[in-house]
Amino acid sequence: MNSLTVYLVVGAVLFSLGLFGVLMRRNLIGMLISIELMLNGANLNFMAFNRFLAPEPAVGQIVTLFVMGIAAAEAAIGLSIILALFRYLHSINVERARRLEG
């Protein structure tokens, strides 16, 4: 249980499921959820390396906090773009969003 490899594999599973979701889904909110999964896999890796290998145990926690902040900003911007796109297209299917001009 308490080994680095277990945590790394758990993080890799989360990241791969997120990658699969981003590639497969066409619902924009579903893609955003998958991106959150990928960020959490990366966070778990940071924390595991921090716990088992790093010389300074606070640094990995700080990086994880920064990733959480970035994830909050990304979710806010992404959701507002999705809402704007929905008002414009009346759909949140990515394949309908083909034009860049407003």
Partner 1 sequence: MTSFLTDGLIHAAFWVVVGLTFGGAVLAVFPRNIVYNVLGLIVCLSGVAGLFLYLGSFFLALMQLLIYVGAICVAIVFAIMLSPPLHLEAPKRRIPKLVLSAGAAGLFFAAIAAVSWKTAWKPAAQRGTDWSITTIGHFLLTKYSLVFEVISLVLLVAIIGAILTTGFSRRLSS
Q: Which of 64, 84, 65 is nearest to 76 (CA)?
A: 84
- The residues in 54-83 that bind partner 1, with binding defined as CB under 8 A, are 54-59, 61-62, 64-66, 68-77, 79-83
Tokens 């088992």: give the residue: 52
Least distance to partner 1, CB of residue 52, Å? 6
93-98 — which CB contacts under 8 Å span 24+ positions? 93/26, 93/27, 93/28, 94/26, 94/27, 94/28, 94/31, 95/26
- The residues in 35-54 that bind partner 1, with binding defined as CB under 8 A, are 36-37, 40, 43-44, 47-48, 50-54
21 binds partner 1 (CB under 8 A): yes
15 binds partner 1 (CB under 8 A): yes
CA distance 84 to 17: 28
97 binds partner 1 (CB under 8 A): no
CA distance 82 to 76: 10
Least distance to partner 1, CB of residue 100, Å? 15
33 binds partner 1 (CB under 8 A): yes
23 binds partner 1 (CB under 8 A): yes
